[in-house]
Amino acid sequence: MSSEAATQPSGSRSLHRFANPGRFLRLADAVLPWVAAATILTLGAGIIWALFFTPPDYQQGQTVKIMYVHVPSAWMAMFAYTTVAAASAAALIWRHPVADIAAHAASPIGAGFTFLALATGSLWGKPMWGTWWVWDARLTSVLVLFFLYIGHMAIANAFEDAGRGRRAAAILALVGVINVPIIKFSVDWWHTLHQPASVSQIGAPAIHSSMLWPLLITALGFKLFFVTVLLLRMKSDILAVRIKTLRMMSLGER
């Protein structure tokens, strides 16, 4: 490990600090118990608050309870994709091995959140809009996001040369990032059935604090869940690389 660090130019040391898988593993192990505990606390508090201590909406009645899982899922769907794209850029530009592992570890979690945004949105749309699905700009762009995740996961394994597959996946992730602002602003750019943003409005959010606080705490819980599972998956993927190296070494020695 020390020999690896010594071969790097000292100027880029700080940048490449986390490019070292061994150092990353130690950092992850130190951080994981705290992040996991914070996830359980915020997610538990947020969901209990949302389920038992929030009022029904004056227009939507109790269906507004779906918001507390739908909105955090949708936020995380976009956040995870941005993570995949940023990590892919770092992997392509600096050949950062841990960034490449991060991109592939984040992708399935993001796909899960995107699926949840679509499924809970559908369950909310049926009673409120009278339909499970419409091909409007917001819903369609989120469906495209889901397919981008699936493509990113599939393309990495579609090449015989794993390095080429991962590079192709990184390029797909970077091209697809254009979809993230399209999702965000789709409700402003086009007439959609989906309501516009209520939380991030400039000035006062168009949502009462009795609903805003449990929503924000649940969203924080979702984000911490993402960080926890991301660290676990990255750890697992680094171990997989080590296993592969050791297997090749033991074959070479035979």
Partner 1 sequence: MDAVREYLAMGGYAAFVWPSYAITALVMLGILVLTLRSLRQRQHALKSLEQAVGPRRRRSRRNEEAA
Can you give the binding site for partner 1, defined by CB under 8 A? 47, 51, 56, 61-63, 65-66, 69-70, 73, 108-109, 112, 115-116, 119-120, 123-124, 126-127, 225, 229, 232-233, 235-236, 239-240, 242-243, 246-247, 249-250, 253
In angstroms, give the least distance from the CB of 112 to partner 1: 5
Which CB sits closer to partner 1, 61 or 196?
61
In angstroms, give the least distance from the CB of 28 to partner 1: 11
Which CB sits closer to partner 1, 153 or 182?
153
Which CB sits closer to partner 1, 60 or 82?
60
d(CA 87, CA 210): 36
- Provide the 8-state DSSP code for 60: T
Q: Which residues contact 2 (CB under 8 A, 6 or more apart)?
A: none
Q: Are 22 and 1 in contact (CB under 8 A)?
A: yes
* Nearest one of 66, 46, 48 to 56, comparing CA atoms: 66
Which CB sits closer to partner 1, 15 or 154?
154
d(CA 146, CA 11): 39
Report the chain's C-alpha Rg in angstroms: 21
In angstroms, give the least distance from the CB of 15 to partner 1: 28
* Axis-axis angle for helices 97-129, 162-176 (nearest 10): 50
In angstroms, give the least distance from the CB of 189 to partner 1: 27
Which CB sits closer to partner 1, 56 or 196?
56
* Nearest one of 85, 69, 41 to 181, comparing CA atoms: 85
In angstroms, give the least distance from the CB of 16 to partner 1: 24
CA dihedral of residues 16, 19, 23, 24 (deg, nearest 10): 130
CA dihedral of residues 45, 218, 223, 155 (deg, nearest 10): 130
Task: Look up tokens 């399935």; give the residue.
Answer: 108
In angstroms, give the least distance from the CB of 143 to partner 1: 17
Which CB sits closer to partner 1, 85 or 222?
222
In angstroms, give the least distance from the CB of 67 to partner 1: 9
Which CB sits closer to partner 1, 161 or 253?
253
d(CA 181, CA 145): 11
d(CA 231, CA 35): 10
